Structure 1
Amino acid sequence: MNKRVLITGAAGFLGSHLCDRFIKEGYDVVGMDNLITGDLRNIEHLFKYKEFEFYHHDVSKFIHVPGHLDYILHFASPASPIDYLKIPIQTLKVGSLGVHNCLGLALVKRARILIASTSEIYGDPTVHPQTEEYWGNVNPIGPRGVYDEAKRFQEAMTMAYHTYHGLETRIVRIFNTYGPRMRLNDGRVLPAFIGQALRGEDLTVFGDGSQTRSFCYVDDLIEGIYRLLLSDYPYPVNIGNPDEITILEFAQEIIKLTGTNQKIVFKPLPKDDPMQRRPDITKAKQILGWEPKVGRAEGLKITYEYFKSLPKEELYKQEHRDFKEYIRKY
């Protein structure tokens, strides 16, 4: 009998890549998504496999999956500023009710569960680079608070199940990740820049562009998550690329990559936007034998080709206009 894994948020960016990986590894995969931000196009190529099944379901409600489960990966969550603006309550619910339901299911099925946390639990950090021991600097009532605090609660609830019930748990803290299947106009910096370049618009940098990010290609991230799931380590582990770059430098890289002649325009920095992001991946190296392999130049080229292949109407979806409203409001 094949091992069986439930992946929530299966139609999203990371969830769909995880489905691919586990199918490739010979697992039976149950994908679950309410499609509030996910897209069935990300997983439609999997419906031909007998090893794949899909449940259209909101994990904030009671979860029933018949049959055995060996692993659960909880990746259901909105993951961009536009999403927080549109659906703040759902964002909080999936990180509280959703994780509680997944943990309860794992307990009943005697399954190991991996929870997707994020570098956002560090807030606007006062420690750099960020280690897993750092507790963070988060504004719980700011515009990003619904996401940041949902993820922090997820971690607390997961550790409570681990210590009280003895549940096998894993926690991955994901730093900025990019690659094919990202939503082009979801407000995150990389698709925002590439979308603007493809539309012939100037690239928008918020603040003076001195804030930093560290971008990890999706294949590297999936490898790290896979290794963490199969490891014996129950505590949070940073998975990301420590190659740090300023947003201004990154905008210049995108202009060079796309061969466009757009200018860079500067706008006020959104409230609580983190000034620094760089993972300390010492634990990932020591415990998992993992570090990123794909350089930014290589990963960006693949991602740009993916975005160029999308239907032209994808360039002009409403999402990027919503992001402008987010910036105006905050």
Structure 2
Amino acid sequence: MPAQRTLITGGAGFIGSHLCRYLLKTGSDVTAVDNMSTGRADNIADLMDNPRFTLRATDITAPGAFDELDGLTHIVHLACPASPKANTKMPLDTIRACSVGTLNVLDLAARTGTRVVCASSSEIYGDPLVHPQNETYRGNCDPIGAFSAYTEGKRVLEAAAAAHSREGTNAGIVRPFNVYGPNMWPDDGRVVSSFCASALRGGTLEVAAGDQTRSFCYVDDFIDGVAAMMDSDSFGPVNLGNPACEVSIAALAELVVQIAGSGRVQLVPGRVGDTHRRQPDTELASRALSWAATTSLEAGIERTLDWMSPVIHAEIAVR
């Protein structure tokens, strides 16, 4: 990549911190904006002394959140409570981030003539009636269900990006499919981090129903896809996921226990409104971005456990 000045919303979050680190290594100046509601200072602690990194601890929905930000070459909009635990606890904040926050980001991109990549979600497809899901599928969503703040919020994000694109803003949309990896903390609430934490503690991995599937994409692969989208003029939306890593939640739990060498799996009743199957069709990403995920689920889980292990051991040591 050529020299850049990139703004990343949600830059102290799981994905955001990886993207900050990646872009700094490529020579970009990086400004992270994060209100720290779900972001963590630990995720970016090693970046704070880098003269090319700046953290603005502010809310993207606040007036003036992006004042005095000029000379940008790229914006990546990630800010949103992403885990089911977070967005069901903060549904109104989730909706505001996806609506008001997204409009503020897109208005900044329009004002500065900057390429902006907005992160939507595979949740846009709801509980899909087609499999795998490609970008032309419009989804099967419940607008008032338990997880609707996040799902419908991401649909608003896409509508806002599309409206701006029609007005000439250089906007693009990516749809991440179950991204996981280091910097997903034990209390994150997403399934991979929850399973890894339980296994490392020697506890029980509670699997709701277990036959539902997800396709898991290792974070390094996803970051490569975002970087390709930053350098593209494509609007998308573009699925970014790993179709080879579709697995049942029960099988995921068993794999985590096997690699960790500890823990046990217990089936519990399923959750109301849970999605049954999800797998991305990534033909568009291959064609438009020359991108494909390459990390196996086994390798990704092993790296995630390696990162989380000292975190859990430190937690146990202070008890």
Establish whether TM, by shorter chain, passes 0.5: yes
- 1:118 Cα shift? 0.6
Q: Is the 8 A contact 1:171 1:234 kept in 2?
A: yes
- 1:47 Cα shift? 1.5
Which of structure 1's runs of 4+ aligned residues deviate more than 3 A?
311-316
C-alpha deviations, 1:253-289, integer Å up to 9, x for none?
Answer: 11111111x4322222112111011000000111111
What is the rounded CA distance, in whole Å, between the counterparts of 1:42 and 1:269 in structure 2? 32
Q: TM-score, normalised by structure 1?
A: 0.92
Aligned to 2:144: 141
C-alpha distance 312-85 of structure 1, shift in aligned 2 (>3 A): farther
Q: How does 1:65-214 map to 2 (within 5 A)?
A: 65-163=68-166, 165-207=167-209, 209-214=210-215
- 1:69 Cα shift? 1.1
What is the rounded CA distance, in whole Å, between the counterparts of 2:4 and 2:290 in structure 1? 24
- Which has the larger displacement, 291-300 or 63-72? 63-72
Counterpart amino acid of residue 232 in structure 2: S
- 1:235 Cα shift? 1.9
Q: Is the 8 A contact 1:142 1:271 kept in 2?
A: no
C-alpha deviations, 1:213-256, integer Å up to 9, x for none?
Answer: 11111100000110011112112000000021111111111111
Q: How many pairs are equivalent?
A: 313
What is the rounded CA distance, in whole Å, between the counterparts of 1:311 and 1:127 in structure 2? 39
The answer for unaligned runs of 5 or more in structure 1 is 317-330
The answer for unaligned runs of 5 or more in structure 2 is none
What is the rounded CA distance, in whole Å, between the counterparts of 2:312 and 2:270 in structure 1? 31
Q: Is the 8 A contact 2:201 2:312 kept in 1?
A: no
Aligned to 1:325: none
- 1:21 Cα shift? 1.2
Counterpart amino acid of residue 53 in structure 2: F
What is the rounded CA distance, in whole Å, between the counterparts of 2:142 and 2:247 in structure 1? 24
Percentage of matched positions with identical amino acids: 41
Mapped pair 1:303 → 2:282: no
Q: Is the 8 A contact 2:133 2:279 kept in 1?
A: yes
Q: How does 1:55-70 map to 2 (within 5 A)?
A: 55-62=56-63, 63=65, 64-70=67-73
Counterpart amino acid of residue 259 in structure 1: G
What SS is found at the alignment partner of 2:293?
coil
Aligned to 2:271: 270
Q: Is the 8 A contact 1:6 1:29 kept in 2?
A: yes
Counterpart amino acid of residue 8 in structure 1: T
Counterpart amino acid of residue 45 in structure 1: D
Q: TM-score, normalised by structure 2?
A: 0.95
Q: Is the 8 A contact 1:224 1:239 kept in 2?
A: yes
Aligned to 1:289: 290
Q: Is the 8 A contact 1:185 1:315 kept in 2?
A: no
What is the rounded CA distance, in whole Å, between the counterparts of 2:28 and 2:102 in structure 1? 23
